[in-house]
Chains A and B, each alone.
Chain A
Amino acid sequence: MNRLRIIAAVIAFLAIAGIAVGTAPTTDDDVVAPFAVRGGLGDTLETRVLTVTALDVARASSLDVSYFEGLGTYPEKLTTDSNWIVVTVRLTATIEPVSLSNARLRIGDSEFRASEFLPRPAITDLLAGPGIAAVGSLAFEVSDAALASDGAESAELTFPTQFTTQLDEIATVELDLRDIDSVPDYRVEKAVIVDGEK
């Protein structure tokens, strides 16, 4: 009788251990995945380190960047054989300056980085101090195929602020890119400090 109890206990222990092993996360990604703070165009998204609002989205085959104010010369137009998706954003850092140079546009399984071709002052390199609001544009060079794909209906613009995003809060703007009319030439404005919200 005693032996039966021991055998039953061992079987129960093995069953519980099997369930624990079977349901345990298979990779660290499941455990330390970042938290998405989601919203749509016009929504103000607040994470630990920034507050961001996507104000407008446009599609064009050429960008007018004649705002360039630096030394030397810079092309007034940035053209592409694909498409420029331009998102105007309003950004306020919370604790310390943050860079938007890691911004990504995800369409289906494809991910596009924010272009580094916009001349200064661009929102990707404007490091306003905490609590200071700035407005500027992010430009993504996106293929026709990506915009024609099913994923364009539920594209995601994300703002990771660090190289490592584990357990970070990431502002994520959900965008429908299918019905945006393409214009031949879109004028990009320089990034500027703007009035804050009192």
Chain B
Amino acid sequence: MRAWLRRNRVSLAAVGILAPALIWVLYGIPAVNRSDGGPTIVEVAAGNSVEIQGYEWTLTANVEIVGEGIPANKVPVGDALVAALIEVRVVDDAPGDESCDATLTSRAMGIERSWRTESLPSDYGYGLQSTSDSYCSPSGTDFDYEMVFLTPDGAYETSTVDLVMGTESTVYRFALKH
């Protein structure tokens, strides 16, 4: 046995180095890439606040308007209008000239589907509050960000408002109030 080990010591050393290297290439590197590739998710429970870049963000209200048909309430049958209000308050040293983007995202049945904010919610008979902004552009002062999404009926129950600041990779995931 000892003689066999001595004869094959170079081969065994090569296997000892190459086998872990192969496992690392096949499984280790893809795993590292996967963990680096996804965004960081910050969950914000319903009614809670989160501080982002010198502002405190609180989702204070949300509502679903079920479609009764375009002649009836301007929302198509089978669809629903979902509106959400996030109060944004300056905490300290809040920078101006920021921007953010919000989507309503459902993960029902393991499938992630997202809807962008409607730029003209009045097309669906929805009037924004006079004190709200329909765009997200923090400028160093308090403001209320009112988002409106057109979704299929039923998405409301399984959705969150996902907020991304500028080009950041962090997603702030606000739970809706039900």
Which A residues contact B (CB, under 8 angstroms)? 95-96, 128-133, 193-198
Contacts and interface: CB of A to CB of B under 8 A. Distances in A.
Range, interface on chain B: 10 to 19
Interface of B: 67, 69-70, 76-79, 111, 113-116, 149-153, 155
Nearest to B104: A129
Contacts of B76: 132-133, 193-196
Nearest to B154: A131
16 contacts: A95-B113, A129-B113, A129-B114, A129-B116, A129-B149, A129-B150, A130-B114, A130-B115, A195-B69, A195-B78, A196-B67, A196-B78, A196-B152, A197-B78, A198-B78, A198-B153
Given A129-B114, A133-B76, A195 B153 contact: no
Contacts of B153: 196, 198
The list of the 8 closest CB pairs from A to B, nearest first, reads: A196-B78, A131-B152, A129-B115, A195-B77, A130-B113, A195-B76, A198-B78, A196-B79
Contacts of B70: 194-195
Contact of A129 (B67, B69, B111, B151): B151
Contacts of A196: 67, 76-79, 152-153
A18 to B, nearest CB: 35
Contact of B152 (A95, A96, A132, A194): A132
A196 B78 CA distance: 5
Contacts of A128: 150
Contacts of A96: 113-114
B113 A132 contact: no
Contacts of B78: 133, 195-198
Contacts of B77: 195-196, 198
A108 B142 CA distance: 62
A128 B115 CA distance: 8
A197 B79 CA distance: 9
A23 to B, nearest CB: 33
A96 B105 CA distance: 11
Contacts of A195: 67, 69-70, 76-79
